Amino acid sequence: MIRIQNKIAGIVCAVLLLAWPMPGSAEYDYINISNPFLKKIPIAIPVFKAFSRSSAENIAAKSAADLLSKTLEYTGYFKIIDRAAFLADPQQPHIDIPDIVFRNWTGIGSELLITGGILLHNDMAEMELRLFDTIKAKLIVGKRFKGGDKDQRKMIQRFASDVIFSLTGDRGVFNSKIAFVSNGTGNKEVYTCDFDGYNPRQVTQTNNITLSPAWSSDGKWIAYTAYSKKNTNLHIMNLEEKRGAVVSQKGLNISPAWVPNQFTLAATLSFEGDPEIYLLTGSGKIIKRLTQSVGVDVSPSWSPDGKKMAFVSDRSGAPQIYSMDLYTGRTERLTFEGGYNTSPSWSPKGDRIAYAGMQNGQFNIYVITTDGQTLVQLTRDAGDNEAPAWSPDGNLIAFSSTREGPSKIYVMTAYGTDQRRLLTLPGEQTAPNWSLRIMND
Amino acid sequence: MRKKFWISLALLLVIPGLLFTVSCAKKTVKSEASVSEMPKSEMAKETVKEDTSAADKARAEAAALEKQRMEAERQRMLEEERLNAQKLRETQLEEERRQAEIAKKLEDAKKKVFLTELVLFDFDSSVLTETAQDRLKRKAEWLKENAKASVIIEGHCDERGSNEYNLALGWRRAEAAKAFLVDLGVSATRMSTISYGEERPFAQGHYEGAWSQNRRAHFVLE
């Protein structure tokens, strides 16, 4: 069941972004939650109306509409209808009831319609955005945004979030970021980018090998592995303040994973003679040891409630995925197919785990339900596909792939559809890690 | 005309006489030459007298010459000895140099073997194969012969598998090599380990020929 919020508490952020809703109605069941990508919903997003028709406004009217199309298309839920098919006159955009002629939209097969109006003056921008059900001829959600000229992208993303929320009850991925490793500088360093691959930014400058970035739940900290001359150390860094802790026990200090909503993380340390998973504070102090087995225990990934941890262990003779209950300490093996399974990532929906498995010399992304009953292969015949990372709403998976030659970051839906490259950077990109939604970005 | 005749006759008598006088003396020393036709007794007496002093002179000369000869001989022998000794030293030095060079070449070769002889592993394994163990034994010998050397043992993996798992596997490989050397008597304080996982491959390529080279414990001198 989907709800429409009539009154939403204003989302106030530092850039004076004000948004308030317009009256909408009722509850609709638009997206099939169990497999939302089976049938994509046709949606039309015409060029916005330029209120004062200045040339800058005309340009912005198109670019904002295009950005909204791209952003919504990224989710995999929608089929964006080509504007060439539109029946309505683009010179006379109708953006609200009663002006909208809905049969112009149902006539071309569109089930949803988004209209927008934009006003630019001085250095300020104002947008009105509305989502309509064309068949029922009703408004689903409408918002007005006011802010600086440079905040247009944020306004669009916020509205996209409102659209997804009104259709699914979930806020979507639009405020999240992806961390990854790239060697474009000649050395492997940690980078971050927006959820859709925009604004890549280099975050570390170790001029050495840097690996395994991991976001904390609030998006303020990143943990990663970096080399000194004689050791492999774990760095825990506050992104804004560039301060933090270093864990440099003798031997390995690798593969960090933050416990959801806590300033605590799991990591693999080998200072006691064997690579085992330990629990650490965000300041780098060891709380306790979690695994107890001879052999490699590595790559932890937490369930969204923080009560269970998936990890890789070769205690059976080869690497497989295991799941440990933190309270009871009970550990059970999850993967029995294939002789080499690594890199688990627990879905934020809680019910399934993605991982990378090698069969016939090739790596592919698999998803297994946490009860171990259902196993699905998501990639095939496309090079080596590794290091899966779920989006915060559990609908998308980022991963690395060598299908084009050098390793790049790709994104696909949770069901393996719509596989496409996230961004283009020099060198090779690996090890994506997807943050939760970051507020006050 | 008559004067001329007597002068010629005198000359004719004197010159041969002189000649005979001289030659008779010599002949007396050698005691072999035939005697001339001059009056024998007088010649003989003179000859004997001359012989004696000449002989003495000759003997003295001879002795002096002999002394000279012997001295020269002695000097020559000394010089020869000196030269020989010098040559010997030079040869010895040359020999020592050669030996040292050979020894150094041998040392360098042993060090090169130590650094380049590969300790390799099977896929997804940190178990030491027989070949690996043999090579580690040789490395242990070198470490014992070179007691001052400190070494970093790096653990490496081929490119397959997750980077994190390979970091851990590489660590286990380095530690396995180190433990083996400790068991052979090498002091643990001389060896440190670090894992590079799949991050620093030696051989590029996506096939077993390259992968097998990268699954190794690599030794680096500090």
- The length of chain A is 441
Tell me whether residue B118 is exposed, middle or buried, using C-beta atoms within 10 angstroms of its C-beta: 0 to 12, 13 to 18, 19 or more. middle
> Of A362 and B8, which is predicted with more confidence?
A362
Q: How close A156 comes to chain B (CA, Å)? A: 37
Structural domains of chain A sorted by starting position, each given as residue range(s) with its CATH number in brackets: 18-168 (3.40.50.10070), 177-434 (2.120.10.30)
The stretch A217-239 carries a mean pLDDT of 96
Interface of B with A in 116-175 (CB under 8 A): 124, 152, 160-165, 167-169, 171-172
Q: What residues in A contact B165, CB-CB < 8 Å?
A: 296, 298-299, 312, 314, 319, 342-343
Which chain A residue has the Cα nearest residue B198?
A209
Q: What is the mean pLDDT of residues A73-85?
A: 93
Contact between A351 and B170 (Cβ < 8 Å): no
Vertex B114: Cα angle to B113 and B119 (nearest 5) = 100
Confirm or reject contact between A211 and chain B (CB < 8 A): yes
pLDDT the model gives residue A439: 73
Average pLDDT of chain A, as a whole number: 91
pLDDT digits (tens, 9 = 90+) for A230-272: 899 999 999 999 899 999 999 999 999 999 999 999 999 999 9
Q: How distant is the Cα of A363 from the closest Cα of chain B, in angstroms?
A: 8
At B81 the pLDDT is 92
Confidence grade of residue A34 (pLDDT, cut at 50, 70, 90)? low
Mean pLDDT lowest among A269-278, A302-311, B59-68: B59-68
Nearest to A358 among B160, B171, B193 (CB): B160
Q: What tens digit of pLDDT does each residue of A139-157 get?
A: 999 999 999 989 999 999 9
Contact B167 A299 (CB under 8 A): no
Q: Greater confidence, A215 or B42?
A: A215
B192: closest chain A residue by CA = A230
- Of the candidates A252, A318, A319, the beta carbon closest to that of B195 is on A252
Q: Which of A345, A326, A430 is CA-nearest to residue A391?
A: A345
Contact list in B for residue A190 (CB cut-off 8 A) is: none
Superfamily of domain B118-221: OmpA-like domain (3.30.1330.60)
* Least confident span in A161-170, A336-345, B147-156, B173-182: A161-170
Residue B145 identity (one-letter amino acid): E
| pLDDT-derived band at A27, boundaries 50, 70, 90 | very low
Q: How far apart are CA B210 and CA A361, in angstroms?
A: 15
- Residues in Cβ contact with B116 at an 8 Å cutoff, skipping those fewer than 6 apart: none
Please name the residue of chain A whose CA is at the shortest distance from the CA of residue B153. A230
- Does A209 reach chain B within 8 Å, measured CB to CB? yes
What's the pLDDT score for residue A20? 52
Conformation bin of residue A171: beta by default, left when phi > 0, alpha when psi is -120 to 50: alpha
Block residue for tokens 């006759």: B9
Would you state the pLDDT for residue A30?
66
Which A residues in the span 363-392 are in contact with B, Cβ-Cβ below 8 Å? 363, 386-387
CB contact under 8 A, A296 and B124: no
In this prediction, residues A285-296 reach a mean pLDDT of 95
pLDDT at B51: 64
Contact B162 A342 (CB under 8 A): yes
pLDDT tens by residue, A90-139 = 888 899 989 999 999 999 999 999 999 999 988 899 999 999 999 999 99
pLDDT digit of tens for each residue in chain B (222 aa)?
Answer: 677 778 777 777 777 667 665 554 444 444 444 444 555 666 666 666 666 777 788 888 888 888 888 898 899 999 999 999 999 999 999 999 999 999 999 999 999 999 999 999 999 999 999 999 999 999 999 999 999 999 999 999 999 999 999 999 999 999 999 999 999 999 999 999 999 999 999 999 999 999 999 999 999 998
- The residue ranges of every structural domain in chain B are 39-116, 118-221
Nearest to A314 by CA among B131, B216, B61, B125: B125
In angstroms, what separates the C-alpha of A342 from chain B's closest C-alpha? 6
The yes/no answer to whether this complex scores an ipTM above 0.90 is: no
Provide the pLDDT confidence category of residue A15 given band limits of 50, 70 and 90.
Answer: very low
Q: Whole-model pTM above 0.95? A: no
Q: Is the minimum CB–CB distance between A340 and chain B shorter than 8 Å?
A: yes
- State yes or no: pLDDT of A306 exceeds 80: yes
Of A296, A361, A431, the CB nearest to B165: A296
Compute the nearest-CA separation of A413 from chain B (Å). 22
B168/A430 CB distance under 8 A: no
The average pLDDT across A384-407 equals: 97
Tokens encoding B55: 């002989």
Between CA A45 and CA B96 the distance in angstroms is 92
Higher pLDDT, B33 or A187: A187
Say yes or no: B86 contacts chain A, CB-CB below 8 A.
no
- How many angstroms separate the first and last alpha carbons of chain A? 30
